[in-house]
Amino acid sequence: MFSLFIFSLLVSVTAIFQQSAAADDDYAGIDVCRACHQKNYDNYLKSTHSKAAIPGNPANKNACESCHGPGLAHVQKAGAKGTGMIAFSKKENPEMRQARCLACHQDSTAVPFWNLSKHKINGVSCSDCHSGHSGTKNNLKMAEPALCFTCHADIKAQANKQSHHPMKEGLIKCTQCHDQHGSSGPKMVKADTVNELCFKCHAEKRGPFLWEHPPVAENCLTCHVPHGSNHGKLLSSKPPLLCQSCHDATRHPGTIYSRFETFPGSATSGKNRIIARGCLNCHTNIHGSMGPSVRGQRFVR
């Protein structure tokens, strides 16, 4: 009985080695790939995928074919398509492309929310932003924000407005606020709420204040546009119209400004209701105030 067990074990091991040998025979080897794809080969050598010194780097085991798949059939058919290899082109199924990447990167701390991300839901694959051959940081195809703007043209338009976060100037990156691989927050932001995200840089607006302006505590986006605006301070509209969207009191002027109260009317009426910063000329501590009594309650200086 024992000898029968040993014999069965040897047969199984032999079969496994035969299968491995057969599988290895399907690979053409990196020198064959280089003969036709010299430019990609040169870029591959600069990338982290080629670094054998990285412990357990599976992308180095079979070089190009670690990601693209066995290429012997591709070579035998003189470079013909449809040989089972993956070219990582946009014509291929995004699920198939990202599955090949996630075979190695699924345990990475960078992609825990990938399956819930808007990028995956909208058919974006890893290879749309990353290149396996690139030697750039994180193997990106181009630097931020240009890479993000290739899809998000509406955000690019906002970033070109006069008041904007300094993305084009290189002082802030899209990925400082957003997690491109998905997050638990809204709009893939790197926080549970918009306010938590904003307060990471604008801590002076957090408080706590003795007198708190309710819209500030609720959501910064009530008054501000995050990417860019034609109004100062990234405001969604110009004061006093922005303030009057909430404050419609009848005594302290809360009525909508007419042409009479604008500059043409000022020469005769002496009114200056929309000169300079409007409401903010007096209500300077608009995010919150520590002032005493009514002065603090009204956020006046």
**Between 138 and 273, the higher pLDDT residue:** 138
| 39 within 8 A of 134, measured Cβ to Cβ | no
Question: What CA–CA distance (Å, rounded) separates 95 from 273?
Answer: 58
What is the per-residue pLDDT for 154? 95
DSSP string of 77-127?
TTT-S-SS-----TTS-HHHHHHHHHHHHTT-TT-TTGGG-HHHHTT--HH
d(CA 127, CA 49): 14
Q: Which of 226-230, 254-258, 269-273, 284-288 has the highest mean pLDDT?
A: 226-230
Q: What is the mean predicted confidence (pLDDT) over 14-39?
A: 70
Q: Are the C-beta atoms of 288 and 215 separated by less than 8 Å?
A: no
Helix (H) or strand (E) holding 164: strand 163-164
- pLDDT given for residue 182 in this prediction: 92
Cα-only R_g, the chain:
30
pLDDT of residue 269: 53
Model pTM score = 0.78
Task: State how far the Cα of 236 lies from the Cα of 88, in Å rounded to an integer.
Answer: 41
Q: How confident is the model at residue 151 (pLDDT cuts 50, 70, 90)?
A: very high
Is the pLDDT score of 60 beyond 60? yes
Give me the pLDDT at residue 249, please. Answer: 59
Sorting pLDDT into bands at 50, 70 and 90, what band is 219?
very high
Please check whether residue 127 is in contact with residue 97, taking contact to mean a CB–CB distance below 8 angstroms: yes
> Diameter of the chain by CA atoms?
114
User: What pLDDT score does 10 carry?
Assistant: 38
- Coil, strand or helix: which one is 54? coil
User: Are β-strands 211-212 and 288-289 bridged in parallel, bridged antiparallel, or unpaired?
Assistant: antiparallel
d(CA 73, CA 108): 32
CA distance 131 to 61: 18
For position 12, what pLDDT does the model report?
Answer: 44
Domain boundaries, the chain: 112-128+136-198, 208-297
Average pLDDT over residues 132-156: 90
Indicate if the pLDDT at residue 13 is higher than 80.
Answer: no
**What mean pLDDT value characterizes the chain?**
82
Least confident of 111-120, 153-162, 275-284: 275-284
pLDDT of 4 strictly over 60: no
**Are residues 197 and 185 in contact, defined by beta-carbon separation less than 8 angstroms?**
yes
Q: Is the pLDDT of residue 178 over 90?
A: yes
Average pLDDT over residues 84-91: 88
Higher-scoring residue by pLDDT: 281, 154: 154
